[in-house]
Amino acid sequence: MGAAIVTGAGQGIGEAIALRLAQDGFDIAINDISAALESAQAVAEKCRAHGVKAECFFADVSSYDECEKMVKEIEKTFGGIDVLVNNAGITRDGLMARMSEENYDKVIAVNQKSVFNMMKFCGTTMMRQRSGRIINISSVAGVHGNMGQINYSASKAAVIGMSKSAAKELGRRGITVNAIAPGFISTAMTDALTDEQKKTMLELTALRRYGTPQEVAGTVSFLAGKDGAYITGQVIEISGGLTI
């Protein structure tokens, strides 16, 4: 099947994506920021249980230089890069009037610049191969906006524009680029919200339940697999009807 890179795969949605792609038969490069994250090693173990190769590559994806070095190492380890999933992301929520410049810049760097870094370096390898699948994890906040998330929604809206531009640039080389916009998915990121915020999200969700990381991973698997071959430049919302 080839090799897949999943950024921020030490936990949450990234972990579920890594496991699902391993189940599909891809060798997996698990990226996360901290080598101290034992869970990344545990994710690698669980991937290997599917009979594929899996290794951890620790790097801060907001750093251009670290991404360049990591992508070279991954290519050397696996002999190519067939799927890139830009999943790493953070929140630093707050109302615009009170948001610090630091919290604005940090979210843009981790959620948006990282997508440029990784698409640039992996895209070069994929162009040489004349094939590849890139899946960028955006958010419903990037499509519809969200109060208290001006930094986050800016970064996730940018990811959608970047996915469409890259789809146009890379299409002639057989590379697809799509974005997924999840709604409320149960992970450490959403655990941090207040009970009030969680209740509001639930009331706005047509299916009246939160999504699971595995439900996002299922769509990644589809886009990375043979049935997703003619889909590019699209945004797929996985939100239980949060935005209808």
Binding residues for ligand NAP, rule: CB under 6 A, are 7-8, 10-14, 31-34, 37, 60-62, 87-90, 110, 137, 139, 182, 184-185, 187-190
Distance from C-alpha of 151 to C-alpha of 51, rounded to nearest angstrom: 40
Q: Report the residue number, 43 or 175, with the smaller CB distance to ligand NAP.
A: 43
* Helix (H) or strand (E) segment spanning residue 78: helix 64-78
CB of 213 to ligand NAP, least distance (A): 6
Assess contact for 59 and 70: CB atoms under 8 A.
yes
Annotation marks residue 230 as catalytic: no
Q: Report the residue number, 23 or 63, with the smaller CB distance to ligand NAP.
A: 63
Assess contact for 179 and 163: CB atoms under 8 A.
yes
User: What is the torsional sign of CA 92, 94, 98, 104?
Assistant: positive
Q: Is 5 left (phi over 0), alpha (psi -120 to 50) or beta?
A: beta
Q: Report the residue number, 33 or 126, with the smaller CB distance to ligand NAP.
A: 33
CB of 54 to ligand NAP, least distance (A): 16
The residue written with tokens 């173990």 in the block is: 45
CB of 218 to ligand NAP, least distance (A): 14
CB of 172 to ligand NAP, least distance (A): 28
Which residue out of 64, 104, 152, 210 is catalytically annotated? 152
CA 194 to chain centre: 24
Q: Report the residue number, 173 or 198, with the smaller CB distance to ligand NAP.
A: 198
Task: Supply the residues annotated as catalytic.
Answer: 152
